[in-house]
Amino acid sequence: MTAIFETGGKQYRVAEGDIIYVEKLAAEEGSNVAFTTVIAVFENDKIKTGDPYVAGVTVTAAVIKNGKAKKIIVYKMKPKKNYRRKQGHRQPYTKLQIKSISLPKEKKPAAPKTDAVPQAEPVPKAAAAPKTPAAPKKAAAPKAAETKTTTAAKPKAAAKPAPKPEKAEKKGEE
């Protein structure tokens, strides 16, 4: 039997006895950890999937070791700018050994009772009061013809002042 469970933002497919490395857990060495966020269980030819998790299924694991992975080098560089940064990083992990994958106990369906109690008939909803027709709309009042002054824009010809008469020249004409 195998199962897919979720921890540390990652998904792992495991079987009983597997040894896996997961993101660091807050558990001491030698203690047991139970995972209930099981996404799918594969048993023989049957597959049970959850929405999002399978109800009642737990994956139990024993903590073997808490440690740090090998160092990786993070090197940043920008050419021609004299920018160089070197930094190391060791990712913490927890080493687990899967002990068991437990399924929920399935209940056998109960035999149907022969003395069935008759169910009460559903109560009908109260009848709604009949709707009365709406009052007719009032006719629109007739508009008075040209009684209102409009503030429409004036024509362009009227907006410009009349041209001024040309002045006679002082020297030649008098």
Cβ 22 vs Cβ 10: under 8 Å: yes
The model's pTM: 0.57
Q: Cα angle vertex 96, ends 94, 97, to 5°?
A: 170
pLDDT at 105: 78
Instruction: Please list, in sequence order, all residues whose beta carbon lies within 8 angstroms of the beta carbon of residue 18, skipping any fewer than 6 positions away.
Output: 97, 98
pLDDT 10s per residue in the chain (174 long)? 999 999 999 999 999 999 999 999 999 999 999 999 999 999 988 999 989 999 999 999 999 999 999 999 999 999 999 999 999 999 999 999 999 999 887 766 666 666 655 666 666 666 666 777 777 777 777 776 655 555 655 555 555 666 777 766 666 555
